[in-house]
Amino acid sequence: MPEILDRFRSSTWGWLRGTLLGWLTLLLCLVGVGLIIIAAIWVHNLMVTYEVTEDRLILRKGIFVKSIDEIELYRVKDIRLDFTLVNQWAGMGTISVDSSDETTREGALVMPYIERAVERREELRRLVDAARQKRRVRELDVASDFA
């Protein structure tokens, strides 16, 4: 089994301090409703764990019924990072991975509320490049002018 280089989840604490909705939820804690929202977000974030190895991005989903899905890093086409001003202050962001893998056929894999998102994106980019070089694979985009 390949060595896991990084393991992370969407961060409930990051969501609380890094989004306006999180701050509003903290205010709602004063009347008790916010705790229910925080518990729901926490359970939702427990459902998916992301693991990065030298060759793969592995998604472990589920709490009671589990599934494992993998994206081969050499198949990654684009890694996007989105963050708001509040996200930047909290040191977190949303990483989106687009690939030719079946996992992302319907749309990019979106990993929200990731702490140290800038560092993790750069590490993923480095690993994608290394995986492509190792397999001697190039990404080729073909565009058609016919409409």
Task: Give the domain ranges of the chain.
Answer: 6-135
Cβ pair 96, 80 in contact under 8 A: yes
The pLDDT value recorded for residue 141 is: 64
For residue 69, with 0-12 CB atoms within 10 Å meaning exposed, 13-18 middle and 19 or more buried, which class applies?
A: middle
The pLDDT value recorded for residue 130 is: 92
Tell me how crowded residue 84 is: count the other CB atoms within 10 A of its CB.
14
Q: What is the pTM of this model?
A: 0.79
- 68 to 10, 14, 17, 93: CA distances (angstroms): 17, 25, 30, 24
List per-block mean pLDDT (blocks of 10 residues) for the chain, which spans 147 residues: 83 83 81 82 89 92 89 92 86 90 84 91 93 81 63
The pLDDT value recorded for residue 52 is: 92
Tell me how crowded residue 2 is: count the other CB atoms within 10 A of its CB.
10
Q: Check if CATH label 2.30.29 holds for domain 6-135.
A: yes
Cβ pair 103, 109 in contact under 8 A: yes
